[in-house]
């Protein structure tokens, strides 16, 4: 076995193509869009290169690729809420061979140590936590959502046998959209609706710039105080939200206002992997035509609950339930486009949100585990602290 650093376009093609060989008989796997993966490793596309660096390797045996991995250093999160400088590894794919996995992990560790790093999290993304984050450890029977990892069941053993430990878990809750809600959700929502200082509205594309600014403001006040979450710049936020615009469904993104000030959001989007699975990773001219066709015939029947955000001063008042019920009043009665709802990315450290989602009625269908490996093997390991 030998490791090859990815430097050429041909090596990059092999890096991206390897999963198509590994998962060719895995029915639930959906091939990622090639341009999405390429963009992560392109300094012209990925802003993380402005404050970090990454490297990729191929693992080859007898002329065939048997594994891939990338390692990252991000100065914005290197020391943020960590007891030690912590880097990351991601895009790990490997045959079921512990020696091969160890070789990939060891190389990442060596490279990160050269950068002054003392621990590595994985598998994670070189960028935002809502994409390509965590190892799938439950839910292999479900298709992955867009830009979300799907993994072989044996990966869990490969990571844990090496010495990785679970730092935190992300849960994906799945529910029938038309099922009734817990009475407590309705009760909290009705209380807030009686308070005339609060108002609720779904976005309108004709005022997209206004809602974008409101969402960025809420996000920075609601999330930046938490571990590993950097401030979102106006430019970064606009880029992310504008990228969603072609798929946005106005009816399923809701904001709450208090005396006219934006204080909370609940963002749902159509789950586009339900269309992308017909594109075989290619968003070229033909792929775009296929996308438009499937969008027009309404192939997708799944709605993705992407993220909540509630500013600190208004947390604990039932705004989450009120936003859920505002959305439900539309999708259960007037706009029955999406029979299935997946609420993605609820961290096990976010106990309040887990309680809320359980009241919504969903069951945990998938778990993505973020693992951490401390280079000092005598240092006590601690999981992420609850919010």
Virtual torsion, Cα 317, 233, 369, 81, nearest 10 deg: -80
The 10s digit of each residue's pLDDT in 5-51 is 999 999 999 999 999 999 999 999 999 999 999 999 999 999 899 99
The 10s digit of each residue's pLDDT in 277-325 is 999 999 888 988 998 888 888 888 999 987 788 998 988 888 888 888 8
Q: Residue 77: inside a domain, yes or no?
A: yes
CB 272, CB 292: distance < 8 Å: no
| Strands annotated E in 139-212 | 165-176, 198-202
Cα(100)–Cα(372) distance, integer angstroms: 19
Q: 197-219 burial, b for 16+ CB within 10 Å, e for fewer?
A: ebebebbeeeebeebbebbbbbb
Number of domains the chain is built from: 2
The 10s digit of each residue's pLDDT in 314-337 is 888 888 888 888 888 888 888 889
Q: Are both 293 and 312 inside the same structural domain? A: yes
Q: Residue 347: inside a domain, yes or no?
A: no
How much is the pLDDT for 229?
A: 65
**pLDDT-derived band of residue 225, with 50, 70 and 90 as boundaries?**
low
Residues with Cβ within 8 Å of 236's Cβ and at least 6 positions away in sequence, in order, are 47
| Strands annotated E in the chain | 2-5, 52-61, 64-74, 86-94, 119-122, 135-138, 165-176, 198-202, 253-258, 261-270, 302-310, 340-347, 363-374
Q: Are both 188 and 165 inside the same structural domain? A: no
Q: Are both 160 and 252 inside the same structural domain? A: no
Vertex 85: Cα angle to 80 and 91 (nearest 5): 90
Average pLDDT of the chain to the nearest whole number: 91
Q: Residue 380: inside a domain, yes or no?
A: no
> Is residue 70 pLDDT above 90, yes or no?
yes
Q: Are both 264 and 191 inside the same structural domain? A: yes
Provide the domain limits for residue 278.
Answer: 178-338
CB 162, CB 102: distance < 8 Å: yes
The 10s digit of each residue's pLDDT in 336-386 is 899 999 988 889 898 877 887 777 767 899 999 999 999 999 999 999 888
> Is residue 265 pLDDT above 80, yes or no?
yes
Q: Residue 384: inside a domain, yes or no?
A: no
The 10s digit of each residue's pLDDT in 342-355 is 988 889 898 877 88
How much is the pLDDT for 226?
A: 60
How much is the pLDDT for 1?
A: 92
Report CA Rg, the chain. Answer: 21
Q: Are both 124 and 185 inside the same structural domain? A: no
CATH code of the domain covering residue 109: 3.40.630.30
Q: Are both 155 and 256 inside the same structural domain? A: no
């Amino acid at each position: 076995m030998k490791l090859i650093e990815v430097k050429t376009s041909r090596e990059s093609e092999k890096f991206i193509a390897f999963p198509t060989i590994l998962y060719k008989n895995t029915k639930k796997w959906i091939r990622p869009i090639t341009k999405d993966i390429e963009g992560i490793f392109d300094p012209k596309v990925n802003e993380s290169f402005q404050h970090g660096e990454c490297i990729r390797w191929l693992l080859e045996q007898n002329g065939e690729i048997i594994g891939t991995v990338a390692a990252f250093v991000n100065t914005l999160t290197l020391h943020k809420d960590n007891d030690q400088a912590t880097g990351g590894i991601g895009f790990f794919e490997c045959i079921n061979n512990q020696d091969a996995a160890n070789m990939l992990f060891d190389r990442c560790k060596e490279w990160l140590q050269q950068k002054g790093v003392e621990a590595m999290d994985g598998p994670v993304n070189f960028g935002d936590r809502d994409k390509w984050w965590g190892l799938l450890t439950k839910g292999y029977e479900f298709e992955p959502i867009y830009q979300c990892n799907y993994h072989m069941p044996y990966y869990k053993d490969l990571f844990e046998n090496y010495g990785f430990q679970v730092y935190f878990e992300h849960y994906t809750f799945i529910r029938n959209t038309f099922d009734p809600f817990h009475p407590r959700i309705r009760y909290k929502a009705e209380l807030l609706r009686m308070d005339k200082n609060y108002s609720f509205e779904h976005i309108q594309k004709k005022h997209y710039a206004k809602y974008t600014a409101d969402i960025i403001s809420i996000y920075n006040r609601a999330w930046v105080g938490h571990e590993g979450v950097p401030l979102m710049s106006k430019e970064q936020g606009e880029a992310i939200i504008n990228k969603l615009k072609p798929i946005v469904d106005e009816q399923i993104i809701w904001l709450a206002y208090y005396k006219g000030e934006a204080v909370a959001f609940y963002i749902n989007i159509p789950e586009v992997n339900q269309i992308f699975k017909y594109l075989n990773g290619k968003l070229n001219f033909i792929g775009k035509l296929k996308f438009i066709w499937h969008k027009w015939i309404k192939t997708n029947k799944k709605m993705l609950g992407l993220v909540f955000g509630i500013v600190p001063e208004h947390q604990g008042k039932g705004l989450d339930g009120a936003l859920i019920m505002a959305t439900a009043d539309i999708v259960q009665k007037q706009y029955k486009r999406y029979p299935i709802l997946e609420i993605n990315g609820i961290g096990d450290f976010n106990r309040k949100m887990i309680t809320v989602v359980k009241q919504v009625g969903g069951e945990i269908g998938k778990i993505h585990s973020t693992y951490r490996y401390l280079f000092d093997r005598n240092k006590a390991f601690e999981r992420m602290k609850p919010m």
